[in-house]
Amino acid sequence: MRKITILLLSFLISTITYSQDVNNNVRYIPESQVPQSVLDRQGELFPTNFVSEWQVQEMDGMQDAQNIGYIAKFEEDGRPGFSASYLPNGILIFNSEFMPSEIIPAEVRLKVDKDYKDYTIRHADFITFYNPKREIYMIKLLDDINVMYAFYNTAGNEIPKDSLPAEILLLMN
C-alpha cells in the first residue's frame, strides 16, 4: 500500500510539474516589445479588433528568435475570447475563438454528448492552424470533480491527442 501511495504521489507531482512548463514560458509584454512585423500582420488579418494584451512564449525555454512566439488576445465585434499566435517574422501559427457550449455546431456537440455521456460541455475553443491547415474544436468537459479536454474536427470526428499540434498546449489552461 505504501509503495502504491508513493508511486501515485510521484506520478501526480510529475504530471503537475510537466503541465506547468508551458505556462512558465509565457509572460505578458507591452505592445512596444512586439516586433513590427507581428503588429502589422495582426492589423492586416484583424483590422477592426482591439488587442487587450500581448504575450510572448518562449518555446522549449529558449529565447532565440526561432523559439519565440507572440500571442495577441483580442475582441471581435465587442466579444472577448479571441487569440492569435505569431512567429517573430509575422507568420500566423494559429488563431482561436472562444465558444460557449450553446454555439458549438450541432454535429460536434451531439458527437461529444454521445462520446462523453458522464460529462458536461463547459465551452470550446475553435482553433485554426495554418501549417498544415487544420481546424480543431478543443472542448472543455466537466463532471462532478474532473476537468478534461476532447478534440474534434469540423465534421464531428474525435481527434486522437497524440496527433494534435504541440501548440495546442498553449490553449489548455
| CB-based contact 104:150 (threshold 8 Å) | no
Residue 173's pLDDT band (cuts 50, 70, 90) = low
CA distances from 92 to 15, 72, 97, 118 (A): 30, 11, 15, 37
Q: For Cα atoms 51, 24, 46, give the angle at the middle one, nearest 5 degrees.
A: 20
Q: Is the pLDDT of residue 53 over 80?
A: yes
Closest of 114, 101, 116, 65 to residue 86, by C-alpha: 65
Per-domain residue ranges of the chain: 94-173
Task: Given CATH 3.10.450.360, say whether it is the number of domain 94-173.
Answer: yes
Q: Is the pLDDT of residue 62 over 60?
A: no
Residue 166's pLDDT band (cuts 50, 70, 90) = confident
- pTM, entire model: 0.77
What is the chain's Cα-based Rg?
A: 18
Neighbours of 23 (CB within 10 A): 13
Backbone phi and psi for residue 146, each to the nearest 5 degrees, phi listed first: -110, 150
How does pLDDT run across 87-119, given as a tens digit for each residue?
A: 999 999 999 999 999 999 999 999 999 999 999
